[in-house]
Structure 1
């Protein structure tokens, strides 16, 4: 039994980037041996175990053979006779197919991956030096999720290029219909991770070049304005919800058909509710937010009500951030985004109205149901109209 540190930890260490976690590969062991040593089995599709003390993941060396279309169409062979090189050969990119013997890793996780100590049969170190994302073997074509992973890594390592032969292979996979078989959970997982990378526009650039964007997100044009908006949001360390709203906000410019397209995207990839709701607010109200400087007190309060800003002020602040990123992408420059400060001030004024007092007074005058809401609305409008802001 031999244990190796593999994958992202080595890649990031060689790139002098922070190492967040460790992936371990076990060669020459059976599941029974792992359990006997105290490891806890957790793998559903292939043998993965948790270390009895560190709780880090240890996977048995395995090979994979394509048996059906799509992400789950694999037959996995994990046995003591699977070699280190065979396991590395089924990985996605050469930069992720490097291994280091575990005895060279200290108890606190530190290691020095000098060239002579690394197992690197597919020249991942060379591709790291040359800043190239290259598939390991033709087995890459057997898993369409790898198209998304390459695009995501391009967004993370934004100074890396995708090898021409890898681009060609990705296009072949799209043409063969492999992307159509992807399950929503994995697509959203990779898209959301890519949106949170350093330069998310590169993910969509790579997906567009290989044809996958037209299959996965035909509604998204990925034009220069949209791509710049999500990169600006990334530069601001914006949340995933804001970045997704920047990606889909342009759909709102086409009115109801665009909102219908947004709903289709969210349904297709099972976008979480809180992210979907922010995207809908931005797509529907972005034009009104941008032009809020021309609204009177009544129009401003109505805008806040449509955005549900009184109940969800934090979400409204995120909507303003997404609109600001879009404004900057369309020539807004670095000047302060006037609607943000103005609308936050209006919200503070309107939210300060003692609605319980207004509601009681309305009830005492005989108002019920919607009439009470109208009284609260009028009180907020009056407060905004009287405010110097």
Structure 2
């Protein structure tokens, strides 16, 4: 019975990166031997055990066989006679198909992972890559993490065949969202969209995003012109500012309506905000996006233009903006909306370092109106004999006064 550190832990150690998770493969053992050694079984689909002291995961070496389309269509075989090389060959990329002997520390690299790390290439291990469509998303996510890595031409060709054969269409919503959300949180999320677009998967998974590429915008506001390129720049601004997932997802969806602007009015995009809001809702429903991300995306899609223009707003107009955004009940969501708007404003060619005073000004407006003592205002209105809508009007006037109106 021999144990090997495998996958990302070996890859990251070779790259000099911090090792987050350590996964192990055990060769030459069966479940009975693992139980006898004190390991705790946790695997459902195949034998995985927790180490009695470190509680790290140890999986028995296994092979797999495709039985049906999609992510779940596999049969696994784990036995003492399965070799380490047989286990590693089922992995997605060569840089993830290396192992390190627990005793000697020697690197086992049967498929050229170290070479591809040195050459900065993302390459599939074997034709078995094509059996699991989630691997397209995983590779795109790794491209966002290791942005200086290229995709091997033969791997890109294989991904295109998978898309053409309909494998991507069998993906379940939970796995798509899991990989997309992780890719959005990488250091260069634009690379994920670029890879998905290169292999044809973007038009299957996010056709609303794919339609943005090649759509022009007014160069006075968007020197980069192309709406798709603008989106990529906005997402990378999110990463530079270390924005949370909800902000990044909102930025992904903020301009979707520009992909449906009638050709005869281009490059202007009148009314794209409402179209973007509806399309954001459609994308969120398709991939079962969490509520916080979904709600922020719809809010940013609807209001981002108003936020950009708010420097010229009167106190009354700024108050109406706060009301529409439900800012007093959801102050943190309002602040995240402003963050997304700043990323949008800076995701433009040559304007990446521009000032965005709208964010600070509207945050100050929110803070000022939150200081209004609603109970005292209501009590004073009641004392004056006011009721119902009149009390609401008094609260509105107090908030407007806090804005200098």
| TM-score w.r.t. length of structure 1 | 0.93
Q: Which moved more, 1:300-309 or 1:286-295?
A: 300-309
Work out the CA distance in 2 between the residues paired with 1:167 and 1:248: 26
1:115-130 map, 5 Å: 117-130=106-119
Query: Counterpart of 1:102?
Result: 102
Preserved contact between residue 200 and residue 230 of structure 1 (Cα < 8 Å) = yes
Matched, 1:299 2:317: yes
Work out the CA distance in 2 between the residues paired with 1:377 and 1:57: 58
Work out the CA distance in 1 between the residues paired with 2:179 and 2:391: 47
Aligned equivalent of 1:358, options 377, 387, 390: 377
1:19-98 map, 5 Å: 19-98=19-98
Shift of 1:259: 1.5
1:1-389 map, 5 Å: 1-104=1-104, 117-220=106-209, 221=212, 223-251=228-256, 254-331=272-349, 332-386=351-405
- Residue 104 of structure 1 aligns to a residue whose secondary structure is coil
Preserved contact between residue 359 and residue 376 of structure 1 (Cα < 8 Å) = yes
Work out the CA distance in 1 between the residues paired with 2:379 and 2:338: 33
Work out the CA distance in 2 between the residues paired with 1:181 and 1:368: 58
Preserved contact between residue 277 and residue 299 of structure 2 (Cα < 8 Å) = no
Work out the CA distance in 2 between the residues paired with 1:2 and 1:382: 73
Q: Which moved more, 1:21-30 or 1:313-322?
A: 313-322
Query: Counterpart of 2:220?
Result: none
Shift of 1:264: 1.0
Q: Which moved more, 1:302-311 or 1:18-27?
A: 302-311
Work out the CA distance in 2 between the residues paired with 1:139 and 1:212: 18
Q: 1:132 to 1:376 in 2, by over 3 A?
A: same
Work out the CA distance in 2 between the residues paired with 1:251 and 1:197: 22
- Residue 385 of structure 1 aligns to a residue whose secondary structure is coil
Q: Which moved more, 1:144-153 or 1:377-386?
A: 377-386
Shift of 1:368: 4.1
Shift of 1:356: 1.1
Shift of 1:127: 0.6
What is the number of residues matched between the two proteins?
375
Structure 1: segments with no counterpart, 5+ residues: 106-116
Shift of 1:327: 0.5
Query: Counterpart of 1:112?
Result: none
Preserved contact between residue 252 and residue 286 of structure 1 (Cα < 8 Å) = no
Q: Which moved more, 1:196-205 or 1:306-315?
A: 306-315
Work out the CA distance in 1 between the residues paired with 2:76 and 2:41: 16
Preserved contact between residue 252 and residue 284 of structure 1 (Cα < 8 Å) = no
Structure 2: segments with no counterpart, 5+ residues: 214-227, 259-271
Work out the CA distance in 1 between the residues paired with 2:131 and 2:138: 13
Work out the CA distance in 2 between the residues paired with 1:315 and 1:203: 26
Work out the CA distance in 1 between the residues paired with 2:125 and 2:354: 46
Work out the CA distance in 2 between the residues paired with 1:251 and 1:372: 40
Work out the CA distance in 2 between the residues paired with 1:186 and 1:367: 55
Q: Which moved more, 1:56-65 or 1:244-253?
A: 244-253
Preserved contact between residue 248 and residue 283 of structure 1 (Cα < 8 Å) = yes
Preserved contact between residue 42 and residue 50 of structure 1 (Cα < 8 Å) = yes
Preserved contact between residue 24 and residue 57 of structure 2 (Cα < 8 Å) = yes
Preserved contact between residue 152 and residue 191 of structure 1 (Cα < 8 Å) = yes
